[in-house]
Amino acid sequence: MQLLLAQMTSNTSSRFSKPCPACGRVIHPSEIPLVDSFPCPSCGEWLTYDNRYSIAIWTGSILGAIVIAFHLGYRDANFVLVATFVTWVLGLLGLFILGLVVSLPLKLVKGKPFDRTASLHLTDKSESDKNPNP
Protein backbone atom coordinates (compact mmCIF):
# COMPACT_ATOMS: atom_id res chain seq x y z
CA MET A 1 0.00 0.00 0.00
CA GLN A 2 2.80 2.42 0.88
CA LEU A 3 4.62 1.59 -2.34
CA LEU A 4 1.49 2.33 -4.36
CA LEU A 5 1.02 5.66 -2.55
CA ALA A 6 4.67 6.59 -3.13
CA GLN A 7 4.36 5.79 -6.85
CA MET A 8 1.17 7.83 -7.16
CA THR A 9 2.70 10.88 -5.49
CA SER A 10 5.95 10.68 -7.46
CA ASN A 11 4.19 10.42 -10.84
CA THR A 12 1.57 13.08 -10.26
CA SER A 13 2.30 16.54 -11.51
CA SER A 14 1.56 19.62 -9.45
CA ARG A 15 0.02 22.66 -11.06
CA PHE A 16 3.10 24.46 -9.76
CA SER A 17 5.46 22.13 -11.65
CA LYS A 18 7.12 24.13 -14.39
CA PRO A 19 9.12 23.13 -17.48
CA CYS A 20 12.67 24.40 -17.87
CA PRO A 21 12.73 26.85 -20.82
CA ALA A 22 16.16 25.52 -21.88
CA CYS A 23 15.80 21.74 -21.77
CA GLY A 24 12.06 21.19 -21.20
CA ARG A 25 12.44 19.02 -18.09
CA VAL A 26 9.56 19.43 -15.63
CA ILE A 27 10.83 20.90 -12.36
CA HIS A 28 8.76 20.05 -9.29
CA PRO A 29 8.28 22.65 -6.53
CA SER A 30 10.35 20.59 -4.10
CA GLU A 31 13.38 21.00 -6.43
CA ILE A 32 13.15 24.81 -6.48
CA PRO A 33 15.09 26.54 -3.68
CA LEU A 34 13.76 29.65 -1.97
CA VAL A 35 16.07 32.09 -3.76
CA ASP A 36 15.66 34.51 -6.65
CA SER A 37 17.57 32.47 -9.23
CA PHE A 38 18.64 28.84 -9.30
CA PRO A 39 20.17 26.33 -11.71
CA CYS A 40 18.04 23.76 -13.52
CA PRO A 41 18.59 20.33 -11.91
CA SER A 42 19.18 18.65 -15.29
CA CYS A 43 20.87 21.13 -17.65
CA GLY A 44 22.38 23.62 -15.19
CA GLU A 45 20.99 26.76 -16.89
CA TRP A 46 20.17 29.54 -14.43
CA LEU A 47 16.43 30.20 -14.11
CA THR A 48 14.23 32.76 -12.35
CA TYR A 49 10.51 33.45 -12.08
CA ASP A 50 8.81 35.71 -14.56
CA ASN A 51 7.78 38.63 -12.35
CA ARG A 52 5.83 40.69 -14.86
CA TYR A 53 3.05 41.58 -12.37
CA SER A 54 5.27 42.79 -9.51
CA ILE A 55 5.47 46.42 -10.66
CA ALA A 56 1.69 46.67 -10.98
CA ILE A 57 1.15 45.09 -7.56
CA TRP A 58 3.62 47.42 -5.82
CA THR A 59 2.23 50.48 -7.65
CA GLY A 60 -1.29 49.56 -6.59
CA SER A 61 -0.06 48.96 -3.04
CA ILE A 62 1.50 52.42 -2.84
CA LEU A 63 -1.60 54.13 -4.21
CA GLY A 64 -3.90 52.05 -2.01
CA ALA A 65 -1.82 52.78 1.09
CA ILE A 66 -1.92 56.53 0.40
CA VAL A 67 -5.70 56.45 0.02
CA ILE A 68 -6.16 54.31 3.15
CA ALA A 69 -3.85 56.41 5.31
CA PHE A 70 -5.45 59.67 4.13
CA HIS A 71 -8.98 58.28 4.61
CA LEU A 72 -8.14 57.20 8.17
CA GLY A 73 -7.12 60.78 8.95
CA TYR A 74 -3.36 60.43 9.31
CA ARG A 75 -1.31 63.52 8.48
CA ASP A 76 2.35 64.63 8.58
CA ALA A 77 4.86 62.07 9.95
CA ASN A 78 2.16 59.61 10.99
CA PHE A 79 0.84 59.63 7.41
CA VAL A 80 4.27 58.64 6.05
CA LEU A 81 4.74 55.87 8.64
CA VAL A 82 1.26 54.41 8.20
CA ALA A 83 1.42 54.64 4.40
CA THR A 84 4.82 52.89 4.38
CA PHE A 85 3.60 50.08 6.64
CA VAL A 86 0.36 49.60 4.71
CA THR A 87 2.31 49.59 1.42
CA TRP A 88 4.44 46.67 2.61
CA VAL A 89 1.41 44.77 3.91
CA LEU A 90 -0.61 45.27 0.72
CA GLY A 91 2.36 44.51 -1.55
CA LEU A 92 3.32 41.28 0.18
CA LEU A 93 -0.32 40.21 0.42
CA GLY A 94 -0.77 40.91 -3.29
CA LEU A 95 2.31 38.89 -4.23
CA PHE A 96 1.17 36.03 -1.98
CA ILE A 97 -2.28 35.94 -3.56
CA LEU A 98 -0.74 36.16 -7.04
CA GLY A 99 1.45 33.15 -6.22
CA LEU A 100 -1.61 31.16 -5.17
CA VAL A 101 -3.79 32.11 -8.13
CA VAL A 102 -1.32 32.27 -11.02
CA SER A 103 1.50 29.81 -11.58
CA LEU A 104 4.26 32.09 -12.88
CA PRO A 105 6.48 30.55 -15.58
CA LEU A 106 10.25 30.21 -15.35
CA LYS A 107 12.58 32.18 -17.59
CA LEU A 108 16.29 32.10 -18.31
CA VAL A 109 18.47 34.52 -16.36
CA LYS A 110 19.98 37.15 -18.62
CA GLY A 111 23.74 37.57 -18.55
CA LYS A 112 26.49 35.17 -17.60
CA PRO A 113 27.15 33.81 -14.13
CA PHE A 114 30.52 34.46 -12.51
CA ASP A 115 33.02 31.88 -13.69
CA ARG A 116 35.59 32.66 -10.99
CA THR A 117 35.75 34.17 -7.55
CA ALA A 118 35.64 37.93 -7.36
CA SER A 119 38.58 39.86 -5.96
CA LEU A 120 38.24 43.00 -3.86
CA HIS A 121 41.90 43.93 -4.28
CA LEU A 122 41.75 44.79 -8.00
CA THR A 123 44.56 42.36 -8.72
CA ASP A 124 42.62 40.15 -11.10
CA LYS A 125 43.97 41.65 -14.34
CA SER A 126 44.51 39.52 -17.38
CA GLU A 127 48.01 38.95 -18.71
CA SER A 128 47.52 41.48 -21.52
CA ASP A 129 46.56 44.21 -19.00
CA LYS A 130 49.66 43.79 -16.87
CA ASN A 131 52.56 46.15 -17.51
CA PRO A 132 55.66 44.02 -18.27
CA ASN A 133 58.11 46.94 -17.72
CA PRO A 134 57.33 49.06 -14.64
pLDDT 10s digit of each residue in the chain, 134 long?
A: 554 444 444 555 677 888 999 999 999 988 888 888 889 999 988 899 888 899 999 999 999 999 999 999 999 999 999 999 999 999 999 999 998 898 888 999 887 655 556 656 666 566 666 566 65
Residue 110 is classified by DSSP as S
CB 22 within 8 A of CB 108: yes
pLDDT value at residue 120:
62
Which DSSP helix (H) or strand (E) runs through 134?
Answer: none
CB 105 within 8 A of CB 18: yes
Q: Which amino acid is at 111?
A: G
Question: Model pTM?
Answer: 0.64
Tally Cβ neighbours within 10 Å of residue 130. Answer: 9
